[in-house]
Structure 1
Amino acid sequence: MPTTTVSRYIAAQGHEIALDPEGHLVDLNDWSPAIAEVLAQEEGLTLTEAHWEVIEVLRSFYARYEMAPAMRPLVKAVALALGADKARSIHLMRLFPGSPARIGARLAGLPKPANCL
């Protein structure tokens, strides 16, 4: 198993949580909703119900396929789980500005999706 480099730590729930150089959790088992809130603050986001819906889709996708989805698979997964209106790229960009797949995966406690900058 490859070793992941720890770049820094965040404090959450009385623990220090290790992050890789791109800000993703080193140990996916460290994830919790409280960790997601701390990571969201770093992104300048306040998580709403709409964010949590997408985070749950991301976590379900990862549990099934053992990988974080890039943008196209994310849009398809959101469409199946939440409906076409919530799967539109513009909606996802409003929730996770810049890179919905990467930022969403980070907040969901998942590794960076393949093919994401």
Structure 2
Amino acid sequence: MKSIKNVSVDSDGYLNNIFDWNKNIAIEIANCEGITLSEEHWKIINFFRSFYFHFNTLPSFRILVNKMLKEFENKKCNSCYLFYLFPGGPMKQAVKISGLPKQERCL
């Protein structure tokens, strides 16, 4: 994991302080993960952040897929498409890029 400028991360690259996050940090983390963020990536990132700050937990993978099916107009969002966007695992990479805490178990 490359280091992220001006923020503290753990050994896996997750932010130590979720309040250090901003869009530039997200882009930098995504670049370290080999991902160029598109509008579709941002929808997922924004969903994770909104859900986390509302419920103080991360959504399950099933909740993520169901929400994205409603959000994406082209209805192509399913588990395969989420893994296409986040090849290292949506519950790992999307959470990391969103600046949220690492889950104990993730796909």
Determine which of 34, 44, 52 is the counterpart of 1:62: 52
Equivalenced residue count is: 106
TM normalised by structure 2 equals: 0.85
Contact 1:10/1:17 (<8 A) preserved: yes
Q: Which has the higher contact order (CA 8 A, sep 6+)?
A: 2
* Structure 1 equivalent of residue 37 of structure 2: 47
Tell me how far apart the structure 1 counterparts of residues 71 and 39 of structure 2 sit (CA, whole Å): 15
In terms of fraction of residues, the more strand-rich structure is: 1
Gaps of 5+ in 1: 1-7
TM-score by length of 1: 0.79
State whether structure 2 residue 103 is matched by structure 1 residue 103: no
Matched to 2:13, the amino acid is: G
| 1:10 pairs with 2:4 | yes
Deviations 1:25-66 (A, max 9, x none): 000000000000000011111101111111111111111111
CA contact 2:69–2:77 (8 Å) conserved in 1: yes
Using the alignment, how far apart are the partners of 2:75 and 2:40 within structure 1?
A: 12
Mark the structure with the bigger radius of gyration: 1
Distance in 2, matches of 1:114 and 1:81, equals 27
Unaligned ranges ≥5, structure 2: none
- Tell me the equivalent position of 1:79: 69
Contact 2:46 2:98 (C-alpha < 8 Å) held by counterparts: yes
